[in-house]
Amino acid sequence: MVFPAPGRRLAGDELLEAYPWPDEGRWVRAMMVTTLDGAAAGPDGLSGSISSPVDGDVFTAVRRSADAVLVGAGTLRAEEYGPMRAAEPDAERRSAAGQAPAPRLAIVSGSLDLPWSLPVWADSALTPLVLTGPSPDADALATAREHAEVLTLADLEPATLLAALTDRGLRRIVCEGGPSLLEAVVAAGLLDEADITLAPVFAGTAQTPRTDGLTEVARLDLVHLLTAEGYVMARYVRPGHR
């Protein structure tokens, strides 16, 4: 399905309805933007320089009903995440649905070398989670615990990370990258949905991190395409999960 009609842009609750979450069970969706030449970032190394307000509207809509936003440490550093909050009407809607007042940010970091000066730690509606391995450096762990709730896990494999979130009632999970984390989730067969924006620009791939690559391709089914201002926003789901 391609929509909306030419000249009309979906917004607000219309977008919320276009990106629904299942009523039950864990659902993991990826969010990313890419260019015509396959870049994940512009010359400045940031995704924002290849994005747009129309793509941002989809990004916001997906987050509005999410329980957790999962990111790697490198993505947190590069994008300098701001505080995770929800608008008052969304916070009220979430509360009525039994959800926390905003999504919880979950950061994967083995080293615990994180940008602690960012306001995301103190100013988010919920204290961020940091997911780390079984034997973190003691000093780094102590620092991390001053800013976040730290979960020391047996390993940082996707199944372990996602189980840790689900065990805390965080079943609607948005994975925002980086590329290596997303690739690992796909390789483990744990990605349910991919919301991919194609930007009408060329940027070169010098600032796009390389990954190890998958041993075999992972296919998803197209659900819809949204178009606005030259951007194409595609929603894909795992076969049989529509």
Pick from 22, 29, 27: nearest CA to 175? 29
Each residue of 207-221: pLDDT tens digit? 888 888 888 899 999
Of the pLDDT bands very low, low, confident and very high (cuts 50, 70, 90), residue 35 is very high
The pLDDT value recorded for residue 213 is 87
**Average of pLDDT values for 75-90?**
93
Q: Which residues of the chain form beta strands (DSSP E)?
A: 2-3, 27-34, 68-72, 104-108, 129-132, 149-152, 172-175, 193-198, 221-228, 231-237
Each residue of 148-207: pLDDT tens digit? 999 999 999 999 999 999 999 999 999 998 889 999 999 999 999 999 999 999 999 888
The pLDDT value recorded for residue 242 is 62
The answer to whether position 130 is within a domain reads yes
Backbone angles phi, psi at 140, to 5 degrees: -65, -35
Of the pLDDT bands very low, low, confident and very high (cuts 50, 70, 90), residue 8 is low
Owning domain of residue 72:
2-210+228-237
The answer to whether position 220 is within a domain reads no
The answer to whether position 154 is within a domain reads yes
Query: What's the total number of domains in the chain?
Result: 1
The answer to whether position 221 is within a domain reads no
The rounded mean pLDDT for the chain is 92
The answer to whether position 183 is within a domain reads yes
The answer to whether position 219 is within a domain reads no
The answer to whether position 163 is within a domain reads yes
What CATH number did the domain enclosing 187 receive? 3.40.430.10
The pLDDT value recorded for residue 210 is 82
57, 16 in Cβ contact below 8 A? Answer: no
The answer to whether position 216 is within a domain reads no
The pLDDT value recorded for residue 178 is 86
Q: What is the pTM of this model?
A: 0.92
